[in-house]
Amino acid sequence: MHSGTGTLGKAIAVLDAVAASQVPLRFTDLLARVDQPRGTLHRQISNLVEEGLLQVNSDHSYELGIRLLRFASNAWSRSKFRNIAEPHLIELHKKVGETIHLGVLQGIEVIYLDKVESSQAVRMHSQIGNASPCYCTGVGKAALSLLSPAQLEERISVIEFRNYTPTTIADADGLRREIEDIRAKGYALDREEHEAGIHCVAAAIGSPGEPLAAGISITAPVYRLPLETLESWAGEVHQAAAAITEDMRVRAGPRG
């Protein structure tokens, strides 16, 4: 895992590694995952434990500390973007009755900031704060479509393509073609590309050339909702994304 050269960058790399793991990590695990000398890593871990950002378990493994929950809770509750988007997520959910996701592009991942759960009995297991690859998710691909050619190529150059399902985009050329198609249509599809049995239609939030690149999606299980029905909602999701973009421009723009 790449880490920044400064002290803060090295500490964040440790936190990223722990956060990305499904199980607590021992020192040797972190040493293998984080590109830092043994002594430096020891110091970073000690500092993070002392500050409450990591906690040590009885078996000497590490997991995220409780203090991070306060940071996350405050960031989520005070997020201007999430607060502006929320009524539009709710309105879209009322129209379609399926799960609505709000996510923002960060590097080559999508971070999910909000979610309105499906009214159906079987629901998605996605969680706010989770990260997913940008190249095989509807929100991620929609957000990528806002990037300039140079910005898009910068992202593509560091993606390690992995086949999560048989329909996952397999390489850079495939992703470039997909982004061209999304720009032409105005919406993105996830055709069971990240998780088998789950698909979505998404639209970009933001404007080309601006810092914010995000997206909103309608997600549903394949067995319950045919792709044709999902795609027929492209207009609704695009309309919601455009409304959020406009509200961001009006309410979060510079004040005169």
pLDDT one-digit tens code per residue, 53-111: 999 998 999 998 888 767 766 666 567 888 899 999 999 999 999 999 999 998 899 98
At 172 the pLDDT is: 96
**One domain for residues 85 and 66:** no
**One domain for residues 65 and 118:** no
The predicted model gives 137-146 an average pLDDT of 96
The closest alpha carbon to 41, from 13, 65, 2, belongs to 13
CA distance 73 to 188: 30
Final residue belonging to a domain, choices 70, 93, 122: 70
Specify the amino acid at residue 251: R
Angle at 120 between CA 117 and CA 122, to 5 degrees: 90
How many domains does the chain divide into? 2
The predicted model gives 121-129 an average pLDDT of 56
Is residue 28 included in any domain, yes or no? Answer: yes
- Distance between first and last Cα of the chain: 44
Is residue 1 included in any domain, yes or no? Answer: no
Q: What is the pLDDT of residues 153-180, one digit of tens each?
A: 999 999 999 999 999 999 999 999 999 9
5 pLDDT exceeds 70?
no
The closest alpha carbon to 199, from 186, 210, 190, belongs to 190
**One domain for residues 38 and 141:** no
CA distance 72 to 57: 22
Is residue 108 included in any domain, yes or no? Answer: yes
**One domain for residues 100 and 156:** yes
Q: Are 195 and 183 in contact (CB under 8 A)?
A: no
**One domain for residues 42 and 124:** no
Residue 18 in 3-state DSSP?
Answer: helix
The backbone torsions φ and ψ at residue 131, rounded to the nearest 5 degrees and listed phi first, read -115, 140
**One domain for residues 14 and 83:** no
Q: What is the pLDDT of residues 182-238, one digit of tens each?
A: 999 999 999 999 999 999 999 999 988 777 899 999 999 999 999 999 999 999 999
**One domain for residues 118 and 21:** no
Helix axis angle, 80-96 relative to 234-251, nearest 10°? 160
The predicted model gives 24-51 an average pLDDT of 92
**One domain for residues 107 and 217:** yes
Is residue 256 included in any domain, yes or no? Answer: no
